[in-house]
Amino acid sequence: MPKVVYVSPAGDSREIDVPAGTTVMAAALKNGIDGIVAECGGVCMCSTCHVFVDEKFFDRLPPAQDTEEAVLEIAAVERRPTSRLSCQIKVTDDLDGLVVRLPEKQR
Amino acid sequence: MINYTEKIPNNVDLGRDRVLQRALEHWQPAYMGWWYDMGPNESHNYEVYLRTAISVEPDGWAQFGYVKMPDYRWGIFLQPRDEKREVNFGIHKGQAAWQEVPGEYRSTLRRVIVTQGDTEPASVEQQRMLGASCPSMYDLRNIFQVNVEEGRHLWAMVYLLHRYFGRDGREEAESLLARRSGDADNPRILGAFNEPTPDWLAFYMFTFFTDRDGKFQLCALAESGFDPLARTCRFMLTEEAHHMFIGETGVSRIIQRTCEVMNEHKVEDPSDVRALGVIDLQTIQRYLNFHYSVTLDLYGSDVSSNAANYYTSGLKGRFEETKINDDHVLSEGLYPVFEVIGDKIVRKEVPALTALNERLRDDYIREIESGVSRWQRVIDKAGIPFRLTLPHKGFHRAIGNFAGHFISLDGEVLREEEWKKQEHKWLPDSKDHAFVQSLMSGRVVEPGKFANWIAPPARGINNQPLNFEYVRFN
């Protein structure tokens, strides 16, 4: 099963086994990762599941669609080049070891 | 005979609940009558590219397609039940969450649900004329999305009233359709929901500030020990997130357009800015001051025995209750509130249990600060030396410890005549409203076109292009 590593703003990391096909957001909620709020329930309508994807993995993700790009504009912590919404990242076997860093705040 | 289980997407087993079906058979026509009378003006024949929730799962949650709003499928959805969920605060902490209304809290719970439910149709009524002055087809679609979802939120509260409160609940559900925003004889329950929403700047401010109050109230109710209320509110929150997106980006786009015009024409004076057909930043600040202060009142008195009772009874929790590290009973602990003594604002520690309204208000303010700082980024990026600020918490308040006092924007206690002299600098006056409305004398509905006073959004809805036909007028 692929693993996803969530890194808190303080630098603490937690590695979670995530079934392929699950979103990075859903896995975070299920495993009680602080720092992913997912106010809209995972339909790309808010920006409270914002993450910074590790550069090694960023180019391996399918590109963000227009709606995700629009919503990232209102992220509580200003977006960076590797910003994504974790509700839009589906974990695959190819992404095993994916590292996402959580912003200091989501709202 | 209407098949309500087909017409009303739901996950409450409506098809097998004859009592609930009968109640809805009576209420649904009355709701449609209200929608035709008080829903968006002249919109009933439009086909609108709307999102409809048909299940609570992410892939069924948001289905997009054209729909005439009277045919919108106002569904009834509760977040899936967690069999192990407990009452998480108050004197019943640790008991299994209630699946039926506890007899001793029946009237209190009903009042809480009615107060929340009353805000939903109220905002539709407040906004019903704005379609005639929309700045684009994209924005028109967005206000309609907000309106139908507020309608669905009314359905959510009415479901609870019908399902759990018998005849009293049915009568309250009818009253929710009888009150009218701003009506002198039968107004909506809360003050902010009787204020007009006369223009699009006010609409965006409302969805940013006042819908966010809705979010915090829903968050507090989503902690309720009465499980159906908690699960209903949890799902409503997902829709509220999009409303706040519309508000935040709407104001942001107005600011962006103003900044573009100021830089292009090298003007700063508000009258020069206005002459170019955009809204000066000073007017935007005054609208902000108004909507923020009116919304702060919605949280109620700073010190409140009602709020304490709701909490102790397990009916309404704090924002993110289960993430707070304390005893969840609040038998001890203090919380700061402010009161006016003479010409000073004095901080005072009161029992935390009595200050729950103030705590929720403070949670809200923190989130508002974050949003306003994002608007400020737009101004900063344009290189314009203007700062948007939030007024002092006591400014222009009608409820709580600051009511009856005259507090300046920066928290100075003034005499009434001093305050009144400066009111026009702090709050929008009739000239401001007339100016803003003069910019919105007609609607812009050619696909891909936007009124001069607002920038286009960065992107369209559901990955559609900006020139997509979001509304078909037929």
Interface check for B460 against chain A (CB to CB < 8 A): the answer is yes
Rounded Cα distance between A28 and B134, Å, is 40
Interface check for B367 against chain A (CB to CB < 8 A): the answer is yes
User: Cβ contact (<8 Å) for B62 and A45?
Assistant: yes
Contacts of B62 in chain A (CB under 8 A): 43, 45
User: Cβ contact (<8 Å) for A65 and B463?
Assistant: yes
Task: For strands A3-7 and A98-101, give the pairing.
Answer: parallel
> How many angstroms separate the CA of residue A21 from the nearest CA in chain B?
13
**Domain at A21, CATH number:** 3.10.20.30
Task: Collapse the DSSP code of B143 into the 3-class scheme (helix H, G, I; strand E, B; otherwise coil) and give the result.
Answer: helix
Contacts of A89 in chain B (CB under 8 A): none
A13 within some domain: yes
User: Cβ contact (<8 Å) for B459 and A69?
Assistant: yes
Which of A34, A66, A71 is facing B460, going by the closest CB pair?
Answer: A66
Rounded Cα distance between B215 and B364, Å, is 9
B269 or B13: which carries more pLDDT confidence? Answer: B269
User: Cβ contact (<8 Å) for A46 and B245?
Assistant: yes
Closest listed residue to residue B41, CA positions, set B71, B65, B69: B69
Looking at chain A from residue 27 to 66, which residues have their Cβ under 8 Å from any Cβ of chain B? Answer: 34, 39-43, 45-46, 48, 65-66
Domain boundaries, chain B: 4-472
Q: Are B343 and B110 in contact (CB under 8 A)?
A: no
pLDDT at A2: 96
**Which strands form A3-7's sheet, in the order they lie side by side?**
A13-17, A3-7, A98-101, A50-53, A83-85
Count residue pairs from A and B with Cβ separation < 8 A.
63
pLDDT at B83: 95
What is the ipTM score, two decimals?
Answer: 0.75
User: Cβ contact (<8 Å) for A45 and B245?
Assistant: yes
Global pTM value: 0.92
Q: Which domain holds residue A43?
A: 3-101
How many domains does the structure of chain A reveal? 1
Closest listed residue to residue B322, CA positions, set B241, B234, B220, B231: B220
Rounded Cα distance between B79 and B219, Å, is 13
Q: Are B273 and B258 in contact (CB under 8 A)?
A: yes
User: Cβ contact (<8 Å) for B245 and A74?
Assistant: yes
Residue of B nearest to A25 (CA): B58
Which segment of A3-17, A29-43, B319-333, B384-398 scores lowest on mean pLDDT? A29-43
Interface check for B54 against chain A (CB to CB < 8 A): the answer is no
Residues 6 or more apart from B106 whose CB is under 8 A from it?
B165
User: Cβ contact (<8 Å) for B248 and A42?
Assistant: no
Predicted confidence (pLDDT) per residue in B148-205, tens digit: 999 999 999 999 999 999 999 999 999 999 999 999 999 999 988 998 899 999 999 9
Q: Are B458 and B464 in contact (CB under 8 A)?
A: no
A73 within some domain: yes
> How many angstroms separate the CA of residue A65 from the nearest CA in chain B?
7
Predicted confidence (pLDDT) per residue in A24-60, tens digit: 999 998 898 989 988 887 778 889 999 999 999 999 9
Closest listed residue to residue B208, CA positions, set B243, B179, B238, B255: B243
Confidence check: pLDDT of B108 > 80? yes
Give the pLDDT band of residue A7 (cuts 50, 70, 90): very high
Instruction: Mark B346-366 as b/e (b = at least 16 C-beta within 10 Å).
Output: eeeeeebbbbbbbbbbbbbee
pLDDT at B4: 67
Residue of A nearest to B364 (CA): A107
Confidence check: pLDDT of B129 > 70? yes
| Residue A1: HSE in the Cβ half-sphere, 13 Å Cα cutoff | 9
Confidence check: pLDDT of B111 > 60? yes
> How many angstroms separate the CA of residue A85 from the nearest CA in chain B?
14
Interface check for A87 against chain B (CB to CB < 8 A): the answer is yes
Q: Which CATH number fits domain B4-472: 1.10.10.10, 1.10.3720.10, 1.10.132.50, 1.10.620.20?
A: 1.10.620.20
Interface check for B325 against chain A (CB to CB < 8 A): the answer is no
A107 within some domain: no
Interface check for B249 against chain A (CB to CB < 8 A): the answer is yes
Give the pLDDT band of residue B239 (cuts 50, 70, 90): confident
Q: Are A101 and A51 in contact (CB under 8 A)?
A: yes
Contacts of A48 in chain B (CB under 8 A): 241
User: Cβ contact (<8 Å) for A74 and B374?
Assistant: yes
Confidence check: pLDDT of B59 > 70? no
